[in-house]
């Protein structure tokens, strides 16, 4: 289901991706249960959902950290899990990752110079120390860090600065694609804005493509061109960011959007929040039929029986819900 934008192949294409983790001999956690979408060059694709919906798993599977249980991931048109070792090495330079926890994602026993140098050393990018040092200094300046602090340890920096180190590390190999796995969730609100601006500027300067995974809907809307909404291992809805927020088709998206607070106190009081009943079902035994039906305020009989089909309901706007097809909203 590769959408060809301007007739060009999408940079990343995920097809019917499934990832199940074995829990014990009898049970598996179905973290990803059939997800398909594309990411186009130069765009920012936002991926949202509650904790446990599988959005991090998508990111890591695309990175190649987990082999998929089913389905494929194509980067630059190549299936990454059928790649040779050489192709893997090349791919590692094309796609990089920024992690959520600025404390845990940096080796506490390495200086930040060593941390940023690591990918360059592994891929033997530079022939001598001087080139390496210059490259790293440039990276420091790009992310807004002081090169004089290069030989300090992560614990001497604030969370925001650590995240900048993580970004610098991700940029070291000059990738085309960056997967940002909740890069700002662990930061103070005031710092979040700085990091987001940095990410935007970098995208412009280096023509980067982002997969931005988050659970903060407002931030995702601000940053993304297109947004996908996930629930319990499946994609509920996908549309351009403006379209999704203006015209949410899936009941889950509607509920999520209704929960975003509005800065206007009068409006905030008047609007209706859609409350979801019940709790998130377990990923070990997802509900039959539509996975959302146990909490959906509009669930019908068919929702319990048959999983809905992922369809394009308007140009570029996809959703999986029985009720849309019947025009019953």
Which of residues 104 and 301 has its CB atom nearest to another protein in the complex?
Answer: 104
Rule CB under 8 A: is residue 309 a binding residue for another protein? no
Give the nearest distance from C-beta 321 to another protein in angstroms. Answer: 21
Q: Of all helices (H) and strands (E), which one includes residue 205?
A: helix 189-206
d(CA 171, CA 168): 5
Asked if 267 is part of the footprint of another protein (rule: CB under 8 A), the reply reads yes
Range 19-48, binding another protein (CB under 8 A): none
Question: Does 259 sit near another protein (CB under 8 A)?
Answer: no
- Does 156 bind another protein (CB under 8 A)? Our answer is yes
The answer to whether 50 and 43 are in contact (CB under 8 A) is: no
The binder of another protein chosen from 1, 70, 218, 288 (CB under 8 A): 218
Residue 246 touching another protein (CB under 8 A): yes
Q: CA 81 to CA 44: how far, in whole Å?
A: 24
The verdict on 69 binding another protein (CB under 8 A) reads no
Of positions 21, 87, 153, 215, contacts another protein by CB under 8 A: 153
Name the phi and psi angles at 126, rounded to 5. -110, 145
Of the pair 222, 302, the CB lying nearest another protein is at 222
d(CA 291, CA 320): 10
Torsion of CA 45, 48, 51, 56, to 10 degrees: -10
Work out how close the CB of 15 gets to another protein at its nearest, in angstroms, rounded to a whole number: 22
Work out whether 109 is an interface residue with another protein (CB under 8 A).
yes
Chain centroid to Cα 214, Å, comes to 6
The answer for residues whose C-beta is within 8 angstroms of residue 39's C-beta and 6 or more apart is 10, 11, 12, 13, 45, 177, 209, 211
108 binds another protein (CB under 8 A): yes
Provide the CA 15 distance to its chain's centre, in angstroms: 16
Closer residue to another protein (CB): 36 or 44: 44
Nearer to another protein, 3 or 262 (CB): 262
Residues in the chain, overall count: 329
| Closest to 122 (Cα-Cα) out of 152, 89, 147 | 89
Closest approach of Cβ 156 to another protein, in Å?
Answer: 6
Q: Angle formed by the axes of helices 129-143 and 189-206, to 10°?
A: 120
Q: Which is nearer to another protein, 197 or 288 (CB)?
A: 197
Q: Which helix (H) or strand (E) holds 16?
A: strand 12-22
CB 106 within 8 A of CB 155: no
* Shortest Å, Cβ 265 to another protein: 12
Stretch that binds another protein, among 59-67, 129-137, 280-288, 289-297 (CB under 8 A): 59-67
Cβ of residue 123: shortest distance to another protein, in angstroms? 7
Nearer to another protein, 54 or 175 (CB): 175
Q: Name the residue with tokens 């061109």.
A: 225
- Quote the distance between the C-alpha of residue 312 and its chain's center: 22
104 binds another protein (CB under 8 A): yes
- What residue ranges bind another protein (CB under 8 A)? 60, 63-65, 88-89, 92, 96-97, 99-101, 104-110, 115, 118-119, 122-123, 144, 146, 152-153, 156, 158, 160-161, 166, 169, 173, 190, 193-194, 197, 218, 221-222, 245-247, 260, 262-264, 267, 271
């Amino acid at each position: 289901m590769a959408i060809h934008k301007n007739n060009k192949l999408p940079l990343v294409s995920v097809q019917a991706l499934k990832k199940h983790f074995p829990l014990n001999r009898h049970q598996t956690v179905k973290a990803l249960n059939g997800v398909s979408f594309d990411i186009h060059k130069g765009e920012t694709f936002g991926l949202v959902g509650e904790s446990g919906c599988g959005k991090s798993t998508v990111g890591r599977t695309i990175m190649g950290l987990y082999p998929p249980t089913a389905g494929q991931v194509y980067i630059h048109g190549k299936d990454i899990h059928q790649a040779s070792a050489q192709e893997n090495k090349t791919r590692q330079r094309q796609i990089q990752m920024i992690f959520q926890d600025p404390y845990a994602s940096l080796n506490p026993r390495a200086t930040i110079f060593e941390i940023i140098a690591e990918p360059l050393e592994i891929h033997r990018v530079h022939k001598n120390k001087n080139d390496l040092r210059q490259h790293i200094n440039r990276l420091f300046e790009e992310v807004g860090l002081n090169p004089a602090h290069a030989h300090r340890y992560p614990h001497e920096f604030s969370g925001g600065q650590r995240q900048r180190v993580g970004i610098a590390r991700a940029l070291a190999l000059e990738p085309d694609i960056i997967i940002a796995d909740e890069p700002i969730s662990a930061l103070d609100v005031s710092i979040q804005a700085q990091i987001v601006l940095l990410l935007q500027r970098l995208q412009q300067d280096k023509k980067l493509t982002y997969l931005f995974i988050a659970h903060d809907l407002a931030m995702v809307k601000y940053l993304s061109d297109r947004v996908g909404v996930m629930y319990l291992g499946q994609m509920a809805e996908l549309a351009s960011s403006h379209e999704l927020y203006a015209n949410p088709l899936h009941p889950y998206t509607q509920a999520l959007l209704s929960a975003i607070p509005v800065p206007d106190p009068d409006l905030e009081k008047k609007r209706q929040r859609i409350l979801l009943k019940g709790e998130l079902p377990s990923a070990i035994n997802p509900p039959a039929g539509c996975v959302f039906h146990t909490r959906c305020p509009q669930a019908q009989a068919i929702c319990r029986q048959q999983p809905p089909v992922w369809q394009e309901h308007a140009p570029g706007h996809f959703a999986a819900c029985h009720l849309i097809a019947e025009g019953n909203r």
